[in-house]
Amino acid sequence: MSFEKDWHDWHTSRERYAGAEYGPAALESTNWLIGMPAAVDGIPGLWALTEDGGIRGTDLGRAGESVALRGVQTLRLGRRELRRFTRNDTVALRVYNPGRPERERFSGIDAYRPDRAWRVAATFEPTPGEQVTITTVDGGAHESPLAGRLHFSVREKDHELTVTRNAQGALSAVFGDGTNGRETYRFRFLLVDEPAADGTAVIDFNRAYLPPCAFSDQFVCPLPPPGNRYTVPIRAGERAVVLGR
């Protein structure tokens, strides 16, 4: 009972996060900046990258009025919220709009019923010093440290799950499977609990979740790395965004 309750609590929190006023469904645009001031759709002023990697907006409605965004600062202009986003050496201005139609129509996340059978036993193989090429949906690519590989079996066939570590230090994977494009979004994300000292681990596919780009195509999500695309259908976890009328 606790297994199902824990899953439903997790699923409820995911839906609450995804449909929040300034959650991922509210992302209206990602605007890559250069040093030359330029207009950004939907917000006043001209916006440019500063020499120290910040963002400056000028001409915000009154002569000489300007603002600066650095680090994790945010700025509200009307209902829209502006955030600074960095990827490698590039900086973008992201605009979140609670009035974005897809945010207003968001009504939930379709998911498979939780099933203990999709808590799969695995063995963790650490890979110190190894790198993996991460390719994003917009064609960008960069090298990232590879945390390791998880070896597991589904339907009596052996598979590997390549994992990296996210900003919080947790093991994180991007994978595709035989349900993509028909029953589920084109790929999904998954966090994996830290393996035991002897390398044993559990991959809980019930906690597979939709990437941010499932809620807005203005996100630049990473794609599954080589080896993390399976022909076997993994009917567990989140499936797709549900939009009302």
pLDDT per residue as tens digits for the range 124-168: 999 999 999 999 999 999 999 999 999 999 988 999 999 999 989
Q: Could you give the C-alpha distances from 123 to 52, 172, 202, in angstroms and in order?
A: 44, 15, 8
Across the range 89-108, mean pLDDT stands at 95
Q: Is the pLDDT of residue 62 over 80?
A: no
Rg, Å, the chain Cα set: 20
Q: Helix, strand, or coil here: 240?
A: strand
Q: Which ranges of 53-158 would DSSP assign to H, the alpha helix? A: 101-104
Q: What is the pTM of this model?
A: 0.93
Sign for the CA dihedral angle at 115, 117, 121, 126 comes to negative
